[in-house]
């Protein structure tokens, strides 16, 4: 029987720190059993986030660029992974789940997030894949990265999650060593299909894929929560 879960879709562009505050509130509520699993979906204002594995070389490269002038914030955060970009044209998903209901296995959880992304891309006509190297999480199209994953899990409650490039400006990836990949190429759904595909176009497909992979039955997050 599917798990009941809330879907929280935030319209417009959300400042990064606002989304982090909402996540923390939801994680606290989830840990107390006040709410079921909640999946947030949104678009961020332009931001580069530095995870726990971001290294000095990446930070030096970031320091060489005036991101403020470009309208991009740079923040240090408490998720795993290295550096990544979020901005308009990219769908971001933050699942706040209790992994005690999903096998208590963090590696399996990341694998399932990748499966959501691969299933979404398949439905859109794109062949997404995992990389063989264990430390290369996310989803790729050939040698081009299209989706990134960075998660945090505390007392089996998850925060952070994944991002899928729908129709964002890929030029930002030329300004820093995204994900510490040494300048690997990034791509988007629009780039692969050769036609504009917005976040709104992708959103229903990714919701359906998430529900299937995590055996969830979504309803909108009540305003009172």
In a domain, 225, yes or no: no
Burial class (CB in 10 A: 0-12, 13-18, 19+), 141: buried
Question: Which residues have a catalytic role annotated?
Answer: 179
Map tokens 């982090």 to a residue: 20
**Count of structural domains, the chain:** 1
Q: pLDDT value at position 20?
A: 94
Q: pLDDT value at position 211?
A: 97
Q: pLDDT value at position 177?
A: 77
In a domain, 194, yes or no: yes
Residue 100's CB: how many other CB atoms inside 10 A? 10
pTM above 0.95, yes or no: no
Q: What is the 3-state secondary structure (H, E, C) of 95-151?
A: EECEHHHCCCCHHHHHHHHHHHHHHHHHHHCCCCECCCCCCCCCEEECCEEEEEEEE
In a domain, 88, yes or no: yes
CATH code, domain with 166: 3.30.930.10
10-residue averages of pLDDT along the chain (225 residues): 90 95 96 97 93 70 83 81 88 97 94 97 97 77 93 95 96 81 87 97 97 96 73
Range of the domain at 43: 3-220
Angle, vertex CA 169, rays to CA 167 and CA 175, nearest 5: 145
Sheet holding 47-50, edge to edge: 73-76, 47-50, 83-86
In a domain, 82, yes or no: yes
SS3 73: strand
């Amino acid at each position: 029987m599917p798990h009941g879960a809330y879907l929280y879709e935030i319209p417009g562009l959300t400042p990064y720190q606002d989304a982090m505050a909402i996540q923390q509130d939801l994680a606290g509520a989830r840990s107390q059993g006040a709410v079921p699993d909640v999946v947030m979906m949104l678009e961020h204002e332009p931001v580069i986030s530095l995870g726990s594995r971001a290294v000095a070389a990446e930070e030096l490269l970031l320091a060489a660029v005036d991101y403020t002038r470009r309208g991009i914030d740079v923040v240090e955060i408490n998720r795993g992974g290295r550096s990544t970009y979020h901005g308009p044209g990219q769908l971001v998903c933050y699942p706040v789940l209790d992994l005690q209901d999903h096998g208590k296995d963090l590696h399996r959880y990341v694998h399932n997030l990748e499966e959501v992304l691969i299933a979404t891309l398949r439905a859109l006509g794109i062949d997404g894949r995992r990389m063989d190297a264990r430390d290369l999480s996310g989803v790729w199209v050939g040698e081009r990265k299209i989706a990134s994953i960075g998660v945090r899990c505390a007392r089996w409650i998850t925060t952070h999650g994944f991002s899928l490039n729908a129709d964002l400006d890929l030029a930002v990836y030329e300004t820093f060593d995204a994900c510490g990949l040494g300048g690997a190429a990034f791509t988007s759904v629009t780039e692969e299909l050769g036609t504009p595909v917005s976040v709104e176009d992708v959103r229903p497909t990714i919701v359906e894929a998430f529900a299937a992979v995590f055996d969830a039955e979504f309803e909108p997050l009540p305003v009172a929560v």
